Amino acid sequence: MTKIGIRYTKPRKLIFKALNHFSKPVSAAEINFYLKNKIDLTSIYRTLELMKKINIIEETEFGDGKKRYELMKNNKHHHHLVCENCGDVENIEMKEDNLLDKVKNKSSFLIKEHKLEFFGLCPNCQ
């Protein structure tokens, strides 16, 4: 049922389901916890690598050495709010045309993409 013609094996299906469940980037450990250890961490990592290679998911790292993953599917351009205390991540969508215009005016760089991440404390940790 996939368009890219890869085999939809069980781990892939389960990991896809897990990523679909979270509406934010999650780590392999969080996926593992959500799937109640149905797939071992090594297979999760291997499957995530593969899903990354075929552009189903996007990998992000917020400087804490932990890689997090989220689905590209229906994934509108957004930014991340990262809690420095508990590591929770929230997605945020916003208008940023002004910011992008400013960058364009200040540089002749051809920008293809950008990432914006905000660090602070989530409501639970304040």
Q: Give residues in contact with Zn ion (CB under 5 A).
A: 83, 85-86, 88, 122, 125
Do 25 and 68 touch, CB atoms closer than 8 A? yes
As given in the structure block, the two tokens for residue 80 are: 């991340």
Nearer to Zn ion, 41 or 125 (CB): 125
Instruction: Give the Cα separation of 12 and 82 in Å (integer).
Output: 27
Tokens of 10: 């069980």
The residue among 23 and 85 lying less far from Zn ion, judged by its C-beta, is 85
Q: Tell the smallest beta-carbon distance from residue 86 to Zn ion (Å).
A: 3
Cα-based torsion angle of the residue sequence 67, 73, 79, 85 in order, rounded to the nearest 10 degrees:
-40
CB of residue 101 to Zn ion, shortest distance in Å: 13
Nearest distance in Å: CB 74, Zn ion:
17
- Is the CB of 7 or the CB of 77 nearer to Zn ion? 77
